[in-house]
Structure 1
């Protein structure tokens, strides 16, 4: 880990900025100077230490959208484009200057998550690089990204997990974080098919948008199946393999009279998230 050790949880609570350079609408990480954003993130992460009963070391992370869904098919018909290696390298260097993680976010379009993960192997061999999967943008048939919500399955995620666990073992890497962003339960079908594997830690991030009340309702729907059950969290398979995460939207969550949730309000969720992302 960038700040010591080889395991993520329960020592750390990961706090991330998401985004893409030159695309302010896609998240805070893509706005302005990268080092200014990481300095800002460091201060924000410090507010997520938590209460005595669940005190953690905050670990900042940069969630770079490395595979971007698009409305056009592109030369290979996958409706996605991969950012250049120079962009990934710049974000990894910025993360390392702050002893932070780099997470490579995948919006796969019509490509498969596993194929896109394999294409990132060069970066995933690094000890401080993980993944974030965005199944809202995983579409099939004649659907184009953005026309309707996509989805994935626990079986698809388990294929990624198996490949990543083998990579971790082969290169003697510390634990890899994999976040799956879930706007609604229908976006992740049959999560029970995901197996627990050494070296891979999964987080299911509840990505509901809106008022504080609406976001809490979304949290309850997305995290309903087992997050409060200690036995489920230790089971070899099932929804308990997915630790809880939460996403906040710096623009959308502040529309009208709505105000974004504060760190104490986020930590008051039951259970407190292991991963908090700001877009």
Structure 2
């Protein structure tokens, strides 16, 4: 993408100085394989998902793609997986800032009501997939100043995470904890959130934009993750799922340029983690669709997401995409984030 195009969709800076081979899924749509179960004297324990149903849903999500890219071939998820059975509608932000997203901009009651309204719109646009709410909270923010640890990142106090989790309960929303590593690493920052990721409804987001591997100041250029960084997050999540006997975790990875995710083919797929490559960035509809086709569609990982900006997607003569428009995309995004 040209620099001028990047400027149109680059995220604002955050906070102080910165604004914000096993069974193959989707490869056998006509498979007759069903769930495996073990019967005991009193219960029936499900060991696997209904693969016929899963395959049909994945084909539908691919929107009849004929290139062979979609649906992606990957191991079937553990039972209880959120995707592709649900479409996640998330509000993004941080409680310290009204500029980083809708989550911190509006009062709690108003924000939750608005989120539920968006969930209803998505349910109406695609009745075949259940729309569910989520709060996507930036738990580690990149910083322009080095800070006392020289890591150019600030970890939010756990009491704020507790607040977000309490806000999610009344509407039965998922919680995502988002990480901007600065000069730190994915492994170091995700590990310090393990106690929260061990909760059944808490999932993870990681943002390569602010990963500065060569010592640059976050926000001075667009950073990146390589497959090893992303695999570190996947390994941590998979271990948490196995250790705590949980249903699969969802991992959201933000992306709006080619260079933000390197060596995508080496990103591992495992039954314990469901990976969403989220089309980030703001701009005109033409620019955003081009970005989706160039970096999300053409470099398939597992599932796709799409980010919408209430303010920055509605500037000039731009207009924010509607749910009805986005469900026509190939593949259909299964995770939607509003900022």
Scaled by the length of structure 2, what TM-score is found? Answer: 0.74
The residue that corresponds to 2:328 in the other structure is 268
Map 1:241-256; keep pairs closer than 5 Å: 242-256=302-316
- 1-structure distance, mates of 2:183, 2:229: 14
The residue that corresponds to 1:230 in the other structure is none
Scaled by the length of structure 1, what TM-score is found? Answer: 0.90
Distance 1:50 1:189, change over 3 A: farther
1:196-251 alpha-carbon deviations (Å, 9 max, x no partner): 1122111000113211111111111121335xxxxxxxxxxxx43x3111001111
Q: Does 1:105 align with 2:165?
A: no
Does the Cα contact within 8 Å between 2:183 and 2:215 map onto a contact in 1? no
Does the Cα contact within 8 Å between 2:297 and 2:330 map onto a contact in 1? no
Task: Tell me which of 11, 14, 31 is aligned to 2:85.
Answer: 11
Distance 1:21 1:51, change over 3 A: closer
- 1-structure distance, mates of 2:274, 2:215: 33
Query: Which of the pair has more CA radius of gyration?
Result: 2
Deviation of the 1:142 alpha carbon = 2.7
- 2-structure distance, mates of 1:35, 1:121: 28
Does the Cα contact within 8 Å between 1:65 and 1:104 map onto a contact in 2? yes
- 2-structure distance, mates of 1:208, 1:126: 29
The residue that corresponds to 1:45 in the other structure is 119
**Following superposition, which runs of at least 4 residues in structure 1 exceed 2 angstroms of deviation?**
49-52
Unpaired runs of 5+ residues, structure 1, are 227-238
The residue that corresponds to 1:124 in the other structure is 197
- 2-structure distance, mates of 1:93, 1:203: 25
Task: Tell me which of 143, 158, 164 is aligned to 1:91.
Answer: 164
- 2-structure distance, mates of 1:255, 1:249: 10
Unpaired runs of 5+ residues, structure 2, are 1-78
**Higher mean C-alpha deviation, range 27-36 or range 98-107:** 27-36
Local SS of the residue matching 1:181: strand
1:147-184 alpha-carbon deviations (Å, 9 max, x no partner): 00000011211121112101101101121111000011
Map 1:22-61; keep pairs closer than 5 Å: 22-49=96-123, 55-61=128-134
Does the Cα contact within 8 Å between 1:50 and 1:56 map onto a contact in 2? no
- 1-structure distance, mates of 2:165, 2:256: 27
- 2-structure distance, mates of 1:169, 1:225: 32
The residue that corresponds to 2:209 in the other structure is 136
- 2-structure distance, mates of 1:92, 1:152: 28
Does the Cα contact within 8 Å between 1:184 and 1:208 map onto a contact in 2? no
The Cα RMSD (Å) is 1.5
Local SS of the residue matching 1:48: helix
- 1-structure distance, mates of 2:261, 2:160: 29
1:33-84 alpha-carbon deviations (Å, 9 max, x no partner): 12321221111012212666x7110111100010000101111111000111
Local SS of the residue matching 1:13: strand
Local SS of the residue matching 2:99: helix
Map 1:73-222; keep pairs closer than 5 Å: 73-222=146-295
Q: Does 1:20 align with 2:94?
A: yes
- 2-structure distance, mates of 1:140, 1:11: 37
- 1-structure distance, mates of 2:88, 2:125: 15
